[in-house]
Chain A
Amino acid sequence: MGLQIAFWMLSAAAVIAAAGVVWQKNLFRAALLLVVCFLATAGIFVTLSADFLAAAQVIINVGAVAILIIMSIMLTREVTRGSPANRLGVPAFFLTGIVAAAIIFAVFKTSWPLSGDLPAEPTSSALAHLLLGAEGFELVIQMGALLLLATIIGAIVLLKENK
């Protein structure tokens, strides 16, 4: 019962916040609504008993990504200009409607191989074995570290002052 109430409230919050980001004319408020959307997503992760991912979502997306976006809005002075839409509104609406309908159709047509097992709790140790263990995704994790290094260097090079 509690899970049910939490799911519906969090999903309503996530969808309304995401729609608010699109409809909101004020750029700064759009960025703050993005934070609400991320927080609701973290709550949905909790209802799916993904505790580690919920914490990672709060730390990385709410903490770091949102701050980066708000800072770049401040630095580009786009707040004065708002967030205007282009002329593709109506065709884009139909396109996204078709995409959503296709996804929902596929969801109901597929017979999912559901498992009745209880979820692993806490997930952090199982995830650590999966990500860092000998038979897990160790190589991909190291490539992720390389990707982050390349990102840092790339951002510095892009923003370096040309003398």
Chain B
Amino acid sequence: MVPGLEQYLILSAFIFSIGLFGAVTKRSAVVILICIEIMLAGVNIALVAFSRFITPVELTGQSFSVFVIVVAAAEVAVGLAIILALYRQRHTIDTDKIDLLKW
């Protein structure tokens, strides 16, 4: 059986959920960023699968995937800069200890 749209979307759902689980349960800020990257990779698979099976000639989904990659790169750069700035001030990046804004 040649993999169709459903198989790709289920794979995307699995990868997204694994990333979500990691992002919710991990305490190290760097690992949370890594898990968000995994979530974005899952979303990219879904977008490219839509592009392949629904608009194979117009490639609309792939153009959205390009924007996702651009925004992910920007997010990682700023996120790691914030983490390094936090580490300089507080010598930890444990999210259980960075709770100034926590109610």
Residues of A within 8 A of B (CB): 3-4, 7-8, 11, 14-15, 18-19, 21-22, 27, 30-31, 34, 37-38, 41, 44-45, 47-50, 52-53, 56-57, 60-61, 64-65, 68-69, 72-73, 75-76, 78, 81, 83-86, 88-89, 92-93, 95-97, 99-100, 103-104, 107-108, 112-115, 117-120, 123, 126-127, 130-131, 136-137, 140, 144, 147-148, 150-152, 154-155, 158-159
Contact = CB atoms under 8 A, between A and B. Distances in A.
Given A84-B27, A100-B17, A130-B63, A4 B73 contact: no
Given A65-B76, A86-B95, 7 more contacts: A30-B34, A49-B52, A56-B66, A99-B17, A107-B6, A131-B66, A144-B71
Contact of A85 (B26, B48, B55, B65): B26
Nearest to B76: A65
B30 A127 contact: no
Contacts of A131: 63, 66
A126 B58 CA distance: 7
A140 B87 CA distance: 34
Contacts of B83: 72, 76
A19 B9 contact: no
Contact of A41 (B14, B20, B45): B45
B13 A100 contact: yes
Contacts of B33: 69
B64 to A, nearest CB: 9
Nearest to B71: A147
A73 B76 CA distance: 13
B18 A22 contact: yes
A111 B10 CA distance: 15
For the complex, would chain A's binding face be called helix, strand, loop or mixed by DSSP majority? helix
B62 to A, nearest CB: 6
Given A65-B37, A130-B58, A130-B60, A154 B78 contact: yes
A92 B17 CA distance: 10
Contacts of B98: none
A13 to B, nearest CB: 11
Nearest to A116: B56
